[in-house]
Every structure is written in C-alpha cells, then in structure tokens.
A and B are shown apart, each in its own frame.
Chain A
Amino acid sequence: MRDYLIRRILLGVLTTFVVAALVFLIMRVVPGDITHIILGEQSGAGQAGVGMVAFEQRIQRLKAELGLSQPIYMQFGKWVWSMVRLDPGTSFTTMRPVLHLVRDAAPVTIELALMGFVLTVVLALVAGVLSALRQDTWVDYFFRIFTIGGLALPSFWVGVMVILGLALLVGYMPPPGYRPINEDPWASMQQFLVPGLVLGWRSAAVTGRMIRSSMLEVLREDYVRTAWAKGLTQRTIVVRHVLKNAALPVVTLLGFQLNALLGGVAVIEIVFGLPGLGRVLVEAIRGRDYPTIQFLIMLFAVVTIVMNLVVDILYGWLDPRIKYA
C-alpha cells in the first residue's frame, strides 16, 4: 500500500507538472502578441494621443512587467517556482493578490459544492434505491424520468428556469448577495439550497442510475435470495447486504462527480449571483487575467488529482478484496 501511495503521489506530481506546462503555454499560443491584446482596448481612439507614453513604450513596459522579455525556459522556471511558493502574483484586472481573490471566493465554492454533493447523495440514494426496489412500477418510471431529465437538461437552463419560475409563480427568490454561513446560517442555507439542488440534479441523475443498476444486479445475487429466505426484513437486506455491495462502483463515480460539481459551479455561480471561484475564473478569462487563470487552473487540477487519489484509497478500504500492489 505504501509503495502504491508513493507511486501515485509521484504520478500526481508529474501530472501536475504537465498541467503546469500546458497552462504556461496558454499565454504563448494565444493568437497575436499577448501584450498587444492586453493593451489593445486602451489603444482606441482618443487614448493613444499626443503626449501620452507611446504605445510601443507601453508594450515594452508590459513585457518587462510580465517577464516576457526573458528566454522562455527562464520564464517557465520562474513561474513554476512562484507556484511552488504559492505566490501567483497580482491579478491584472483587480490588482489584488490572486491568493486574496481565491481566499475570498473559495468558501463560496466549497459551500456550494458540498451542498451540491450532499444533495447529490441524498437524491441519488432515494432515486436509485426506490427505482430498483420498485422496478417497472410508476415509482421506477418517475425516478427514471427524473434521472433522464437531470442528464438531458443543461444546468444553466435549469437554473434560469428555477429562478424565473420561483419568482413568477411563487414570488420567491433566494436572497441575493452572498451571506457567509457563520454570519447568517439561515440566509446562507436559503442561498445555497436552490443552487445546490440545480447543481446536484445532474450528478444525482448519473449516480442514481448507477445505484439502480448496481442494486438490481446485487438483488439477483444468491446471497440476497438467501437473506430473503432467512426471513430478514427488507430494511436489513437493503442496507446490510444490497447497498453495501452495490456501493463500490458508486463510490468511484461519486469521486468523479465531486470533480464534476467543482467544474460545474461556474455556471451556477453566475446564474445565482454567488461570488465563488467559478465566477473569479470566468471574470479572469473575460479580462485575460493570466496570473489568476493560471493559478486557478492549477488549483482545480491539483484538487482533481487529490480527489482521484482519495477515491482510489477509499475504494480499497471499502473492498478488502482489493489489494494495491
């Protein structure tokens, strides 16, 4: 196990390095000169006029500021070192340290992702278990429609429909403007419940279908028939024998779903006006704020790598038959 862990960690470091190289290259593969693009809007009519610092001088200044005058390997080395030191620099657009932006936005995304994840698990369990136990009845059909809907409908559309539907039909809207959970737990719950549901629906659909099919498979196993024959209650059979054995593939899937939730938060954060990491990333992309973009992509990559590792370890813990060589 120890060797396996070391190997996985080393692999994770290598993957991170490859991601870093790709992220670094983004700035170099954008069409045109990045400094022209950054300063381009400023050079419109009226602003490049007489008496101003000449455009070319500005370009040179910016190149120096971004370190683009140096050889590319030096630029890469410096950038990797800044990542290692957790010093991604200052945002071009907000002029605030990138770490401060992340520090402020991360709690929002974590709260949203956790809410989405909890609701994913709850909805998936309800849909998957009831669907399997009541196979080919109206309960099964209902949850199958529910899960197919979750897969088919894009989250941003669902979010918009939910917001407008609640406002027009019920006259309700979750309170806008972020309230940290430690300041106002009730308002915070209201703010995150609806977006959490929208975010979790899709993941719940995927996971619920997996639970259903796993359970149907396990329900047909001999040992389950034996349990029924022994006269055990349905609850005992489902919880102790079926769910536990059906959980293995689901755990793996949930790990991926948590990553998917993190990836899907940007749209939900925009629709529900939550100032999380997704919003920061979108704003950074809109503003070509490279220090922020690079750091956030690296952050998401590292989180994904760590999550995958955790899922793999969890998998072995849940199923003692699995041995890591």
Chain B
Amino acid sequence: MPTAPPGASPGPAVQAPTPSGPVAAPTVALPARPAETPGPTPTPRVVRVVAAKGYEGHPNPQAKYGGVLRTFIERGPGSCDLAFRPARGRVSNNGCGSMFNTLLRLWPNDELRPDLAERWEMSPDGLEWTLFLQKNVRWHDGKPFTADDVVYNFRRYTQEPEGTVLSNTAWQLLGVTDVRAVDEHTVKVRLKTPQADFLEEMGSPFFIMGAPQKLEALKAQGKPPLFINYTDSVGTGGFKPVRFIEESTYEMKRSDDYWVKGLPYMDGLQILVLPDAATRLAAMFTQRADMYQATELTTADARGLKGHPKGKEMTFINYNTGLEQVLAMNLKSPLMQDVRVREAILRATNVNEAKRVLGLGEGLTGGVMPPQGAWGLPKEELLRYPGQGPDPAADLKRAKELLVEAGFEKGFAVRPLLSRVTDKDVGTAVWVATRLNQIGIQAEGRGVDAAVDTLEIQDRRNYDVLGRYIGSSGSVREKMSYFLCEYTRTGNETQYCNREYDRLYALQSQTLDAEKRKQIIWDMQRMLMKEHAFQVLVWVGRNAAWWNYVKGYDPSGMGQSNHYASRYDLVWIDK
C-alpha cells in the first residue's frame, strides 16, 4: 500500500515494489503542496509512483495532428548515446530523446509507468526481476524488437567500454549478475542483492534501448559502437532522425509505425542550436521557435518574457530540479576542525537568504535530499539545524557569537573559494565569500579555468570552504553516495568519511520496504546535518516556456534531469 512519509510536509506517496505477481499499482494522486512563497511553485521531486497505466489517455481526442515543433538547445547533443560519454565530451537527450524508448518511463508528476516493458514481476527474495516486453514493437529500421535486444543492451550498459569512452551506466548496474531472454518477449534480470531502486533505474533516460544490429554494423565498419552520429541513431521512439548539421540543426520526422498507436501527434521536430541567450530570446519573440525547452530559460529571462505583452500568449513553468547550489567545508582543513566554526559558516549562509539572492526567490530549500520528495527530512525537523531557520539576520548574529566562542574574535582568513567560470558557479562562490566576510572571515570567491579547478579542488584539495553549483539526478544513489568514504578520493568535497554511514547506505539500497528505507535515509541525513559541513543552499528552479498553441508538454516532475523532458511524442500543435 502506498504510504505517506509521517511527519513530512504534505508529501507524495511512495509505492514500494510489490513482491511477486504482476505489479498492478493504481495511480496515486499527488497531494497539493502548499506554496512556500507567493509566485510560481516548484513541483515536488523525487517521487516514485509505479503505476501500470502505460500510455493511458493517449491518443488524446483533443489533440491535433501535424506540424513541426521548433525548439532550441544551447549546445548540440554531442552524442545521443546517453549510456556512454567520450572523455570530456557530452551526451544529451535534448536533441535525441524522442528517438528512443526506455523500459519504463517517467511521466509528469513523477509517475513511473511502463514503456517498452509492459509489466514486471519481482521474485519474493527481491533478487530476480522478470520484465514482460511490449509486442509489435519495431526498430526504426523495421526489425522487430525482442528480448534478445534487451539482453544486448543490458550487457552493453554493464560492460566497461574501452579507451577514453566513459560509461554513464555501469556503476548503476553493478548489482546485475545475469540477464537472459526467457522467450521472445520476456527477460529475467538477476541481482547480487535486492535493489530498491531497480525500477527507477530502468526508467532512467540513460538506459535507452538502442538497435543492436546498428551498433554491430558500426563496429564492423571500425567505428565506435555508439550512437554518436545523430543519423546513425536507431531506436524505437516516436521520431526518426532525418538530417543534422553539427551544432546547428537537428531534424526528426514522425515514425509512422510507432508502437504506441496514434502517437506521435506531430509530423516532425526541428531542434536548433542557439548558444547565445539573446538569440534564444529573439527566436522565441519572433516565433522562429515555439518553445524554450527545459533548462534553457533563466529566471531573469523568464521574468523579462512574462513582462512583455507577448508573454500573455505564452505558458511558463518553474519546476524543481536536481541542480543545486551548495556549500561544502573541507573537514580535513585545520580551520574547519572546530564544529562551532562550521556552525557559524552554516548560519552565515542561511538557506533562505541564499534562495532570495542566488535563486532570485525561486527554487527550494531543505536538507541533503530534496525537501519535498519522498526522502527529504521533515520541514519542522530541518528547522532545528543551523542555517535553515527563517531569520537570516538572527543567524548572522549567532554566527558572529560562535566565532567569538571558538576564539576567533578577529576572524580569520580562508583560502580562495575556487569555482569554474560559469555564472552560477562563480555566483555561488562569491555569495558564500560575501556572507563569510560579514562574520569576519576573510574570503574571496574566485573563478578559475576548469583545469585549475580540477587540479586545486580534486587533486590538491586546496580549499577550506567551497561554494559550488552541482548538477545531479537528485536520486538517493547520486545524492547520498557522494558522502561515502570511497569517494573522498575523487568527489566528496567535504572529505566526510564515516563507516556507519557507509553501512547504512548499503542497507538502504537493499531495503525494499519504502517506509523502512526512508527511515534509514533520514538517519543518514541526520548524520550529515549534525556534521555541519555541508549545506544545500538552494535547489535551483528551472524554467520553461512555450507559445500557447503548443499543447501536451509538461516537464513538471521530470526535474531529475532535462533528459526526461525531451521526448515529444505526447506534444501537439494547436495552431
């Protein structure tokens, strides 16, 4: 049964995986969340409602067929193969998402629904999943989609690639020990231990199903077996690639034999690459583009558009994401050994003040996990931790007192707060430094080249305090693994290492009961909060906008990443 997290602010329900038997979970309605502040309210995030609705409601009788949607992205996708990434390269679903399907699909409001897997079963011990695949699915080249193709894709994702190509997925499927096809439309996946977020991973856009025959053909030609070239990409999605000009134009046309009957509604997609923000605004104003795709619209630009008379003809949305601006203290720094100093810094960088300045009043505040999702600590509990209170001025005053108590009446100087030269990175570092200055700590935010940043932060650990801008999925795996002892070498800028925390991390990942799992995750967060070394200053709200004639687009709840919001098979144009 779905259970609401006790004590959480009117929280979303979480459906635990059902042991054995087809999962036939009803859709769970999400209770409305009261707005924190007047104005656009970010959507709750990190909710996992497993439903068996599939594409129910589509085709929508009100939808119109035809037309080409024109949208834009800041940079070309680089590679469409989300599972792998060339060294320093980039992969993105922004230009490619509509060409592929996943086994499960994350829908608006964070419903996880069937996609290429029409249903699934879990063995009583949680060690085996059986995936029952959709029938009558064909790859874009006409070949039928079968269980063998799923097995091929699983193996591809679990194997470490050669050379400088990096895997985005292998680390997520470490628990998979065996995958085999039972028949043409059934796949069994064997796990080392029960994996609480297995279905979530199957709905991740990183696990796109790609045509094995195409990948093998590429290999035979001596090319990397990856969907790097846009027009080489062969999936089962609603749109097929037809033309691309690198870093300029990506065009797709409707797949007439799409396995979801009646979809997609539009004849095609044209995705333009417009690196400059002013050009994107101009494209929107002049209707050279129909929509600002997720992630491309800054809060300031959104406000500018809204304020213009033409803004009345557009729809705007601001929603929560896995992007966050954070404060991290180096626990191995001699200056950060006194917990009173760390508390003072947390108080100086009060999250409500951060939201006001860094988030321009938008975004979410909270603990380590996103506050409104399934795993966030209750709001009333969060208020007990330093820097979370509603009164930044009082926090600032207390911070000064704490420094005096710690013997730093005259303050002290910290090493420069280095950050990469992007507005959000530098902005976070400068803001943190400014707040530290206000309590007598001499600090300076300094933007540096990525090479220097990597060298000083990752290799040399040359910092006391950092203000950073981080993009992650917002999942438990990504957010909480950050603090594991094994990552002190590479990630984990706090250098936090606690074996009990590591043990709890492993435990929660195998706990299938959602309520028990949540309690463990809460305990882990409490451990971190008490350490006073890390603070999410604000979860950045993302904006999207489209002309009112674009219908059916809803990135809400897809805040985990923009990849979720880049499938357009449910969108139509009413013009």
**What is the interface of chain A, defined by CB distance below 8 A to chain B?**
30-33, 36-53, 55, 61-62, 65, 92-96, 101, 104-105, 160, 163-164, 166-168, 171-173, 175-178, 270-275, 279-280, 283, 287-289
Interface-located stretch among B179-187, B381-389, B476-484: B476-484
Q: Which residues of A contact B166 (CB under 8 A)?
A: 39, 42, 47
A36 close to B288 (CB less than 8 A): no
B229 close to A271 (CB less than 8 A): no
Distance, CA A20 to CA B118, complexed state (A) = 58
Can you list 6 residue pairs at the A/B interface with Cβ under 8 Å? A45-B484, A55-B489, A171-B285, A172-B286, A173-B285, A270-B276
Q: Which residues of B contact A94 (CB under 8 A)?
A: 78-79, 86, 89, 228, 246
Q: A32-B459, A45-B482, A175-B288 are in contact. Are A40 and B248 (CB under 8 A)?
A: no
Q: Which residues of A contact B279 (CB under 8 A)?
A: 160, 163, 173, 176, 271-273
A177 close to B459 (CB less than 8 A): no
* CB-contacts of B88-139 with A (<8 A): 88-90
Contact partner of A271 (CB less than 8 A), chosen from B78, B276, B478, is: B276
Contact partner of B272 (CB less than 8 A), chosen from A38, A65, A101, A273, is: A273
- Indicate whether B163 reaches chain A with its CB closer than 8 angstroms: yes
Closest CB in chain A relative to B453 CB, distance in Å:
9
Distance, CA A229 to CA B144, complexed state (A) = 90
Contact partner of A36 (CB less than 8 A), chosen from B171, B245, B455, is: B455
Q: Which residues of B contact A176 (CB under 8 A)?
A: 72, 272, 274, 279, 283, 288-289
A92 close to B163 (CB less than 8 A): no
Contact partner of A275 (CB less than 8 A), chosen from B229, B247, B459, is: B247
| Chain B 378-418: CB-based contact to A (< 8 A → 1; otherwise 0) | 00000000000000000000000000000000000000000
| Chain B 48-65: CB-based contact to A (< 8 A → 1; otherwise 0) | 000000000000000000
Please give me the 9 A-B residue pairs with the lowest Cβ-Cβ distance, nearest first: A45-B491, A32-B455, A167-B282, A93-B89, A45-B482, A275-B248, A43-B490, A40-B454, A177-B249
Distance, CA A160 to CA B278, complexed state (A) = 6
Distance, CA A274 to CA B459, complexed state (A) = 37
A93 close to B86 (CB less than 8 A): yes
B285 close to A52 (CB less than 8 A): no
Distance, CA A126 to CA B490, complexed state (A) = 61
Closest CB in chain A relative to B147 CB, distance in Å:
25
Closest CB in chain B relative to A90 CB, distance in Å:
9
Distance, CA A95 to CA B163, complexed state (A) = 12
Distance, CA A47 to CA B486, complexed state (A) = 11
**What is the interface of chain B, defined by CB distance below 8 A to chain A?**
72, 75, 78-79, 85-90, 160, 163-168, 170-171, 174, 224, 226, 228-229, 245-249, 270, 272-276, 278-279, 281-283, 285-286, 288-289, 450-452, 454-455, 458-459, 472, 477-478, 481-482, 484, 486-487, 489-492
Residue of A whose beta carbon sits closest to that of B473: A46
B282 close to A93 (CB less than 8 A): no
Closest CB in chain A relative to B88 CB, distance in Å:
5
A92 close to B88 (CB less than 8 A): yes
Q: Which residues of B contact A33 (CB under 8 A)?
A: 459
Contact partner of B288 (CB less than 8 A), chosen from A160, A173, A270, A283, is: A173
Contact partner of A95 (CB less than 8 A), chosen from B224, B452, B482, is: B224
Closest CB in chain B relative to A306 CB, distance in Å:
26
Q: Which residues of A contact B75 (CB under 8 A)?
A: 283
Q: A175-B288, A176-B288 are in contact. Are A48 and B487 (CB under 8 A)?
A: yes
Residue of A whose beta carbon sits closest to that of B452: A31
B248 close to A273 (CB less than 8 A): yes
A105 close to B246 (CB less than 8 A): yes
Contact partner of B451 (CB less than 8 A), chosen from A30, A163, A172, A175, is: A30
A275 close to B174 (CB less than 8 A): no
Residue of B whose beta carbon sits closest to that of A166: B282
Q: Which residues of B contact A271 (CB under 8 A)?
A: 276, 278-279
Contact partner of A52 (CB less than 8 A), chosen from B160, B224, B249, B275, is: B160
Q: Which residues of B contact A93 (CB under 8 A)?
A: 78, 86-90
Distance, CA A268 to CA B210, complexed state (A) = 37
Q: Which residues of A contact B164 (CB under 8 A)?
A: 38-39, 61-62, 65, 92
Interface centre among A55, A95, A274 (most CB of B within 10 A): A95
Contact partner of A46 (CB less than 8 A), chosen from B228, B247, B282, B487, is: B487
Interface centre among A49, A50, A55 (most CB of B within 10 A): A49
Q: Which residues of A contact B490 (CB under 8 A)?
A: 43-45, 48, 55
B278 close to A279 (CB less than 8 A): no
Closest CB in chain A relative to B347 CB, distance in Å:
26
A42 close to B87 (CB less than 8 A): yes
Residue of B whose beta carbon sits closest to that of A101: B246
A48 close to B489 (CB less than 8 A): yes
Q: Which residues of B contact A95 (CB under 8 A)?
A: 79, 86, 89, 165, 224, 226, 228
Q: A61-B164, A289-B88 are in contact. Are A275 and B245 (CB under 8 A)?
A: yes
Contact partner of A160 (CB less than 8 A), chosen from B86, B228, B276, B492, is: B276
Q: Which residues of B contact A51 (CB under 8 A)?
A: 170-171, 174
A173 close to B86 (CB less than 8 A): no
Contact partner of B249 (CB less than 8 A), chosen from A30, A166, A178, A270, is: A178
Distance, CA A164 to CA B278, complexed state (A) = 6
Distance, CA A32 to CA B222, complexed state (A) = 33
Q: A31-B451, A163-B279, A171-B285 are in contact. Are A40 and B89 (CB under 8 A)?
A: no
Distance, CA A287 to CA B270, complexed state (A) = 25
